Structure 1
Amino acid sequence: MNLQFMSRTFIACLKGIPTTLIIVSLTILISTPLAILVGIARYKKIKVLHQILSVYTSFIRGTPSILQIYLVYNTVPSMLAIFLKNIGSEVNVFDLNPIIYALIVFVLNITATFSEIVRSALMTVDKGQYEAAQTVGLSRLRTYQRIIFPQAIVSAIPNICTLIVGLIKMTSLAFAMTVQDIMAIAKIEAGNSYNYIEAYIDVFIIYFVLCILIEAIFKRIEVRTKRFKFQTAT
């Protein structure tokens, strides 16, 4: 066990944390409104749209993330290059930051999973509350904004925590798209000296700490929202 290499690689891998957090933050930011719309559409079982979205979520959740990455990374740039060429654009898509392609994969993946969390959370709210809100004259938007969503969010917090922890771990696959994240830095460092075990231990420690921190944050959020959950239950 080369401890000197491990400590040096650990410090180098820390430089990849901002990239990982940027990918996670942007993915959640983009996926959240999309997941809410998809979740509501599936909850309301809107004709045709419900079937299309069901196929989409089933496909995303039923295929490996690494396969989705290779599919997007190997097809999207080529298709985009052909499209830009046809419209006379001189933009070189192969010079684009690979984080863009990582975001495409992760947004598609997280939107599908998050939408199921939204749908199941909406199902935990008593439909009588929606009917009561309509009776007192609240619009559909106000009903969801003031009554339905606040209660749904409370019940969805544990699943959202699991989703974000899973996303953090999923970003370790971004190295397959040449994104310079934690895993990519570790593999580069290990490739120079073949100390892969030490490098992977460093990666393990970093991801473990990140996930523990996220779980601790959501634990505090869950404790704070218990009062609201109790009030709505009574």
Structure 2
Amino acid sequence: MSEKKVVAVIVEGSSDESAIGSILKEYFSSEEVQFAVVHGDITSDDNTTVDNVISKICILVDGIRKKYGYEWKHFTKIIHIADTDGAFTRGCVREGEAEVEDIQYYEEYMEAPNVDAAERRNEHKSTIMYKLYSTGKVHDIYYRFYYNSCNLEHVLYNQLKDFSDEEKMELSDDFADKYEGKVQDFIEFISGTDIAVPGTYKQTWKYIQKDKNSLQRHSNMHLIFG
């Protein structure tokens, strides 16, 4: 009997898993694909630091290991997907109107109820993201960190707005239905010149850190399928 091979996928929310879960499972059909859903953004969590973020990734993968009875040796790779949320921009935050309670994203700037707090969030999040993409292995398992800019909905649906959780799930379900059994069509979509950042893994990360690129519609998820 051949030994199990497992791909661990870390995403921010359930709608992320819904949108791309079946695509990844079809592409990695010779392996078992299991998701760890953070239900939030580990990179902007105030409790996450450069010193503890790798251990937090280990805990997420260990949760998969324990849930399904795997051994560490069964994991062949860890795929981690997160939103950039404009974190690499500097001086692009404007004070929002009185009714703005959360950060609102636009391709040239963002609005926030507290500009200083948003800038601190960007500094913190970008530092954590730098640590993660610079990390090649977690628990001696191949690890790669991929981004959607400004977020998953921006990349997949070309819409930059504050969606409710219900709207996100509806969009992701429709997207999954569209690409069910059509993984090559999805690869062509995510590799399109209007989305995919060209170059190597390292080059795509250098690109997203420049200017306002982390607010605009870019992704390096196509490298998952390289």
TM-score (norm 1): 0.24
More strand per residue: 1 or 2? 2
The TM-score normalised by the length of structure 2 is 0.25
Higher Cα Rg, which structure? 1
Higher relative contact order (CA 8 A, sep 6+): 1
Task: Choose between structure 1 and 2: higher helix proportion.
Answer: 1
